[in-house]
Structure 1
Amino acid sequence: MNNVERHQHIIRLVNKKGHVSVVELCDILGVSSVTIRKDLQFLEDSGLVYRTHGGVTKQNPYQTDRPVIEKEKIHEKEKQAIARAASKFVTANDSIIIGSGTTTQFLAREIVPQGHLTVVTSALNVTFELLKHANVEVIQLGGSVRHTSSSVTGLYAMQILDQFYCSKLFLGVDGIDLEYGISTTSAQEALLNQKMISVAHQVIVLADSSKFGRKSFGKITDYSQIDVIISDDIPKPYLDRFDSLGIQTIICGKG
């Protein structure tokens, strides 16, 4: 098998499986890891694949910032299913924090408050969704507004959080990497998320399956501070890791 044939075979495998390891490619193609790594470098330089630690993927593992108006239309059914599952964690007379993002906006739409509900949020889109409920008290954090996320960040928002302690934090993320942890595209957003984690009893991550195997600029936390992860699908290596750490996982089908 010459270089061109090998490259074509690699592309077909990546398109079929989504991610293929260097070890797998060595076994399938009968060549050394040095040869495979050269192949992957050539294919990445050509813009055909993306290299990852120990393998290759068809999806860019680095998540970049996009406006919520654009993100809201992506994986819509998955986000609806995740939001419905997450809404079941909201109890009567609860006090919760909802972070920014489109999946958390879907959660706000799904919430049917029992008794009085207090919601602390940095997200303007979440606030607008909850205003229809007379028995929901929304505490909107203040600060600099990020246009892409329709949410606030900064020192003022972090200082206000010092005044509260909530039962749950519902956190949307842009990336979940096996080693790196969970992340978001904004460093300022990541800092605010870290503060939210510190004032919440339970941390619930909402992430559709496209977020797995991806990293973003701002690291929020490793897995030690996560209690629950809700997704439409979770790759087995992540399920094994979460199980070993005692993290509850909920997989819900598309809406």
Structure 2
Amino acid sequence: MLSNKSSLRRRLQIVEMVRKRGEVSVEELSQAFDVSSVTIRTDLTYLEQQRYLVRSFGKARYLSQKLGDNVLVPEADGATRKASETTIARFAAEAVDDHESLMMGAGEIVHKILPFLSDRSNLALLVQDIGMAQTAQRYLHCELLLTGGQLEENTTVMTGPDAEASVTRRSVDLCFLEASGLDRDGNLLCADPTVARVLEAARRAAARTIVVAYQPQLNERDGEVFANVADVDALLIDDGIDPPTMELMPRKGLQLHRRESGILEFRKSTT
């Protein structure tokens, strides 16, 4: 019998089963997941609306996806997204100890980590985003440095060779980086190539790296690679991740630790 821990997980597994076999009957799915045919039909109605499959005479047939359309989670409303991002940020902050040197890469979730560090002492922060510097001054008593670099119009994020060099010449205990995409090879992507180059430099310079993401585009190469999941110490992500990507993590040396509120934490294996 297949796992049936949640409707989301079941629907992800249904898509994968139909994709592999091309066509599966309602009866087969009902037996495989040990749920009623009514439940399966509800799942198939949802999946058909999301354009993952088509239904015909009691069966489900796979519908080929366009690149970037394979995230099996409805677009979250603003409040839901903010709550999930804040939860991811809170879990990420747990990795920080007193007296550590941190690099904070650009990104909304990384920004939200800062208030959760207010009880840490003697931190040294290197930040890429001027907005984060203002937040750090509000919540933390710490050494605070900016990477420097170029500021493009209508942005507070610093990039360019100077920013990259600033990261590489400093001692960094832990860097927090944010991904916008994740492909089938486990590559972590950033939508802005200039930001990605600074993130890659930070990842190479840091003793430890934690990557955060909320509903990253899966199987998507519309972005610049800044790391592979095999290169990081932890990946904190919401549970909108498909089975093939989930199965990839242990092959890359990351073990799953489920957290509350639908957050998944993949940590580097210690064995």
By relative contact order (CA 8 Å, sep 6+), the higher-ranking structure is 1
Q: How far apart in 2 are the matches of 1:113 and 1:136?
A: 11
**Structure 1 residue 215: Cα displacement:** 3.4
Is the 1:174–1:215 Cα contact (8 Å) retained in structure 2? no
Within the candidate set 229, 240, 249, 1:242 is matched to: 249
Unmatched tracts of structure 2, length 5 or more: 1-10, 26-49, 53-62, 72-76, 263-271
Q: Structure 1 pair 75/211, CA: closer, same or farther in 2 (3 Å)? A: farther
Residue aligning to 2:129: 123
Answering whether residue 91 of structure 2 is matched by residue 82 of structure 1, we say: no
Residue aligning to 1:252: 259
> Which amino acid in structure 1 is aligned with residue 19 of structure 2?
V
Within the candidate set 182, 194, 197, 1:191 is matched to: 197
Q: How far apart in 2 are the matches of 1:251 and 1:126?
A: 29
Aligned residues: CA RMSD: 3.3
TM superposition score normalised by structure 2: 0.67
Alignment of 1:66-105 (within 5 A): 75-105=81-111
TM superposition score normalised by structure 1: 0.70
Residue aligning to 1:12: none
Within the candidate set 230, 234, 241, 1:228 is matched to: 234
> Which amino acid in structure 1 is aligned with residue 204 of structure 2?
S
Q: Structure 1 pair 203/19, CA: closer, same or farther in 2 (3 Å)? A: farther
Within the candidate set 14, 17, 23, 2:19 is matched to: 23
> Which amino acid in structure 1 is aligned with residue 167 of structure 2?
L
Q: Structure 1 pair 58/77, CA: closer, same or farther in 2 (3 Å)? A: farther
Q: How far apart in 1 are the matches of 2:186 and 2:14?
A: 18
Within the candidate set 219, 222, 225, 1:216 is matched to: 222
Structure 1 residue ranges (4+ consecutive) displaced by more than 6 angstroms after TM superposition:
71-74
Unmatched tracts of structure 1, length 5 or more: 1-15, 30-47, 63-70
Identity of aligned residues (%): 17
Query: SS at the partner of 1:129?
Result: helix
Deviates more, 1:190-199 or 1:232-241: 232-241
Alignment of 1:50-199 (within 5 A): 55-56=64-65, 60=69, 75-133=81-139, 135-146=141-152, 150-179=156-185, 181-199=187-205
**Structure 1 residue 57: Cα displacement:** 6.3
Aligned pairs, how many? 212
Q: How far apart in 2 are the matches of 1:19 and 1:218?
A: 31
**Structure 1 residue 159: Cα displacement:** 1.4
